[in-house]
Amino acid sequence: MAFEKEHKILDGYLRDKGLKQSAQRRDILNAFLKTEGHMTVEDLHKIVKRKNPSIGIATIYRALKMFCECGLCRELRLGDGMIRYEHKYGHAHHDHFTCLKCNKLIEATDPEIERLQEKLARKMGFKLQGHLLILYGLCRECK
């Protein structure tokens, strides 16, 4: 099943916090790592139930929040009312482009934009700690 590194990160986090391991969290982490999308809690719940039909959706909520805390995943608020989650460990920072017609979500980054954000923040006397950039428009197929 692999994903040793990620499970090690989770286990280290649990140990540090005095928490316990559980089969549910392992199942959820495996299911999360096996997908490469931008998953909603409900998406993940459907998938995990195939391996563990008795798992409750509250456990998915709790696990994903925990995975975020230990750096395994990242929350993504695209403004559609639901939080989405994507891989963070082993993935470089990137921003997103969403197609207003087909709702496709595509990853994009421009190091120059990142640098100018830093510069803009500095010019205004701010210490930049993060940013959210979402581009909206029509994708290659829809325009």
Partner DNA sequence: CAACTTATTGATAATGATTATCAATATCAA
Partner DNA sequence: TTGATATTGATAATCATTATCAATAAGTTG
Report yes or no: 60 and 29 within 8 Å, Cβ to Cβ: no
By CB under 5 A, how many residues form the interface with Zn ion?
Answer: 6
Q: Which does 21 bind (CB under 5 to 8 A by kind): its own copies, DNA, Zn ion, none?
A: DNA
Task: Give yes or no for residue 86 binding Mn ion (CB under 5 A).
Answer: yes
Q: Which does 106 bind (CB under 5 to 8 A by kind): Zn ion, its own copies, DNA, none?
A: its own copies
Instruction: List the one residue from 19, 23, 58, 135 that touches its own copies (CB under 8 A).
Output: 135
For Cα atoms 55, 61, 63, give the angle at the middle one, nearest 5 degrees.
80
Q: Which segment (12-20, 48-56, 86-94, 130-138) binds Mn ion by CB under 5 A?
A: 86-94
Tell me the C-alpha distance between 38 and 127, whole Å: 29
Which helix or strand (DSSP H or E) is residue 11 part of?
helix 4-17
